[in-house]
Amino acid sequence: MSLRQASFPRRIPPVLLRRIDKADPADPLARQFEPQPDEALRTPEDMDDPIGDQSHAPVPGVVRRHADRALLMPTLACPVHCRFCFRRDRVGAGALTPSDLKRALAYLRNEPELREIILSGGDPLMLPPKRLGTLMTEIAGWPNIEILRIHTRVPIARPERIDRAMLKALGIVKPVFLVLHCNHANELGPEARQAIRRLAKAGLALLSQTVLLKGVNDRIENLAALMRALLAAGVKPYYLHHPDRAPGTAQFRPSLAEGVALVRALRDQLSGLAQPLYILDNPKGLGKRPVPAWTRTDLEGLF
């Protein structure tokens, strides 16, 4: 384990810190965000590059696993440090240098097969709004790009950043899908809900991604409450991730059988609108695949 992985700094913004119940030793937000002794432990299943980022990075700041879409990480700054983060060895390192960003954009601009650019990190909404707007406007101007997608925790962790300047930056002419990372209904406080409403009024399509985490949301009542709360806030549940095998995160990982049982139970309790797709990110960097689509041969030696 690298020094960075062993000393992943604590970062909890005030809006989330206030929502932690200090009297509850099993508080689901504290479990997500407060450092834990188990982080220093490495298991045989852990992987330094759990989803193949490094092996699929043609230039710094870009991950390309598919012909029609690519991931751009303009910054590795994040509003909150999740203890299960699969990029914990890099998160917090700041923005790409101007030369690396120029190189990343040149690579993406010259790939005519691309139809979608996904902004991730870190968290792209941690960029200054003017810089983010300039970046998105440039990408939207490429004739082959049809969709931009943003993966973010900012509306939950730093909802005050969803202000007029940020909404202006996001207001490009091409469709923008904002994917909100949320793992427990307790994260959706009044400030977060207001930020989500502002994004919806600005015309963004709102989806969610959730990581299935032991001790946080691996009980049917917690997972169902989260999906209902997201839908009530105007956010369509999109992905339920099986946790990646990042070093120091074994304490968060349920078994695949437990995950499948939870997803089956969700089908009995929630409408189709509230059903996320349970997916596993291929450790060889081949992308996400619905868990039922994995064969025994696929999983052999992985889980």
Number of domains in the chain: 1
pTM of the model: 0.92
Domain harbouring 275, CATH code: 3.20.20.70
Q: Which residues of the chain fall short of a pLDDT of 70?
A: 1-6, 283-286, 292-303
| 65, 286 Cβ separation under 8 angstroms | yes
Per residue, what are the HEC states of 47-116?
Answer: CCCCCCCHHHCCCCCEECCCCCEEEECCECCCCCCCCCCCCCCCCCCCECCHHHHHHHHHHHHCCCCCCE
Q: Who contacts 237 (Cβ-Cβ below 8 Å, separation ≥6)?
A: 207, 208, 210, 227, 230, 231, 273, 274, 275, 276
The pLDDT of residue 51: 81
The pLDDT of residue 1: 39
* Rounded Cα gap, residues 297 and 302, in angstroms: 10
- Domain extent, residue 235, equals 3-299
| 219, 10 Cβ separation under 8 angstroms | no
* Rounded Cα gap, residues 77 and 125, in angstroms: 9
